[in-house]
Amino acid sequence: MSSPNQSSRPQNDNPYDIATGEFDKGVTSGRKLFGKVMTGLVMLCVAIALLPLASILFMLLKNGLSRLLQDFPSVFTELPPPPLVDGGGFRNAIMGTLLTCLIGALISVPVGVLTAIYTVEFGQGNKLSQFVRFCTNVLSGVPSIIAGLFAYGVVVVLMGTFSAIAGGVALSVLMAPIIIRTAEEGLKSIPREVRQGLVGIGATNFQGVTNVILPAALPFIATGVTLALARAAGETAPLLFTALFNQFDARSLREPIATLSVLIYNYAIAPYKNQNELAWAAALIVVLLILTVSILARSLTSRKVY
């Protein structure tokens, strides 16, 4: 296999320096420097990106934690006090946030999951499923206050009252696109081979989806639901004129109800110190809630099969 050219090749173009035991320094030191500079630049950008999160957490802990610890159980169990009265808590707002999110989930989870099943498993790229996907993208870009306006127009006007139901409907409009997208991703992550295997053993599309594909995609769907809940828990705008606010406990789903986010909005701009403190404490609770839910979502994703 030897060619005549090989023998005439110069001997000294080996980058390995036998004397020093190092590779050619002339070339690499410049590259190394460039690499270090770029690494530093990237780290700087990461730090800048994390700065707002860190400062928000710092401010919340500084302003909210003391009130939370000082009135530990009563913050969660008492109602907001009237102006110029000390103490009190926001149990009505905690209940309201949980209730509106629950109603939102009850509407958006079935709709979202079934939509994703249609577009991925049954529509398989046909015109309708493309159209649905386009609509989902548009919907996920809709400002949240528009979702509130929609729920106002449909639910509040029809029922004649602000209510937890109206708030839940508004939130479900925001949650649905998140659930559709993550559920679609989860369904698409099931390998083609498994789908072929299902066809190969004579499973109908319905049998395959319900018995194999949906269970395998469940971690993804659960992640989508928790992320959607995290988003809904922090929303204020869609609740402002749907759930409105209530100084007291709502006695039914058909009357105005307090939520943490609207409580923060109302009390943060109130001219009373006690109310301002409650707003800080509520803000800390909301952030902790979202943090917990997000961590839950991560641990659910790590359980995925594929």
For other proteins, the binding residues (CB under 8 A) are 191, 193-194, 196-204, 207, 211-212, 215-216, 305-306
Burial label for 278, CB within 10 Å (0-12, 13-18, 19+), is buried
Nearest approach in angstroms of CB 185 to other proteins is 16
Q: Is the Cβ of residue 104 or residue 208 nearer to other proteins in the bound state?
A: 208
Q: How far, in whole angstroms, is CA 303 from its chain's centroid?
A: 18
Report the residue number, 117 or 279, with the smaller CB distance to other proteins.
Answer: 117
Q: Using DSSP, state whether 291 is helix, strand or coil.
A: helix
Q: Which is nearer to other proteins, 10 or 202 (CB)?
A: 202
Q: How many helices (H) and strands (E) does the chain have?
A: 14, 2
For the bound state, the minimum distance from the C-beta of residue 100 to other proteins, rounded and expressed in Å, comes to 35
Of 48, 49, 58, 50, which Cα lies nearest the Cα of 287?
A: 58
Strands (DSSP E) contained in the chain are: 16-17, 22-23
> Rounded to the nearest whole angstrom, what is the least distance from the CB of residue 99 to other proteins in the complex?
36
Q: Which is nearer to other proteins, 58 or 206 (CB)?
A: 206
Supply the minimum distance, in Å, between the C-beta of residue 131 and other proteins.
18
Q: Which is nearer to other proteins, 190 or 284 (CB)?
A: 190
- Distance CA(252)–CA(283), nearest Å, equals 25
| Element housing 201 (H / E) | none
Min CB(169)–other proteins separation in Å: 36
